[in-house]
Amino acid sequence: DGGITQSPKYLFRKEGQNVTLSCEQNLNHDAMYWYRQDPGQGLRLIYYSQIVNDFQKGDIAEGYSVSREKKESFPLTVTSAQKNPTAFYLCASSLGTGRQYFGPGTRLTVT
Amino acid sequence: RKEVEQDPGPFNVPEGATVAFNCTYSNSASQSFFWYRQDCRKEPKLLMSVYSSGNEDGRFTAQLNRASQYISLLIRDSKLSDSATYLCVVIGGFSSGSARQLTFGSGTQLTVLP
């Protein structure tokens, strides 16, 4: 089946620890995105990548880092510098700038 | 002014009602438009694209008004299963400094009551 996978579904971490969220797609899409969603809020763009080995900051990139070494993979690291990391993280991909396909998301809780 | 704005929710309607949501966008150069549906604690899923001439998919109708710069989503004969958050997406025409061309609205929550 083609699609986007994110793992894990739920993640718990202690404050001060870095954590990496996985995102893999087998849709052969060039573009991939990371969003953050807080309760009752819309999606806010963290980072996006349009081609391998290149990525751009979104609106709320501070405290996050990404890599795009392979077309299929776009991992997101939430660093200890992120002040409020507890949120629902969504990865998406698209062919160009068209319709986006979303993964099931990762709920990160930092205590 | 936000680049993309949606009707504030929540909308609580009885089963069988017709409900409409609007989404306004600030840049007249925007090119593509979509409506997504997001269920509680799930990822957004594409509901329908919005075409210039308007388009219909069963009980759902999407329309684009370029002159007034808004898109709309009409749901007829609403069902309990329509309860969700509806997000509009606008692509193209924005110059935010990051070269990002896709913007999500903040979403409108719909609850269909029995």
Report yes or no: A54 and A68 within 8 Å, Cβ to Cβ.
Answer: yes
Answer whether A104 sits within 8 Å of B42, measured CB to CB. Answer: yes
d(CA A107, CA A105): 7
Write the CB contacts of A85 (distance below 8 Å, at least 6 apart in sequence): A13, A19, A63, A78, A108, A110
Rounded average pLDDT over B30-40: 92
Write the CB contacts of A87 (distance below 8 Å, at least 6 apart in sequence): A36, A37, A38, A108
On whether any CB of chain A is under 8 Å from the CB of B106, the answer is yes
* pLDDT of res. A72: 97
* pLDDT of res. B29: 84
Out of B32, B43, B107, the one facing A105 most closely (by C-beta) is: B43
Rounded average pLDDT over B52-71: 94
| pLDDT grade for B63, boundaries at 50, 70 and 90 | very high
> B34 to chain A: which residues are within 8 Å by CB?
99
* pLDDT of res. B102: 78
Minimal CA separation from A80 to chain B, in Å = 24
* Coil, strand or helix at B80: helix
Q: Is the pLDDT confidence value at B97 over 80?
A: no
Rounded average pLDDT over A18-46: 92
* pLDDT of res. B93: 63
* pLDDT of res. B95: 54
Share of chain A above pLDDT 90, in %: 78
Strand residues in chain A grouped as ranges (E): 4-7, 10-13, 19-25, 31-37, 43-51, 54-57, 64-66, 76-78, 87-94, 100-102, 106-110
On whether any CB of chain A is under 8 Å from the CB of B101, the answer is yes
* pLDDT of res. B98: 42
Write the CB contacts of A52 (distance below 8 Å, at least 6 apart in sequence): A68, A69, A70, A71
Average pLDDT score over chain B: 89
Q: What is the pLDDT of residues A53-103, one digit of tens each?
A: 999 999 899 999 999 999 999 999 999 888 899 999 999 998 876 788 999
Q: Is the pLDDT confidence value at B114 over 80?
A: yes
* Coil, strand or helix at B84: strand
* pLDDT of res. A91: 97
Q: What is the pLDDT of residues B3-19, one digit of tens each?
A: 889 987 899 999 999 99
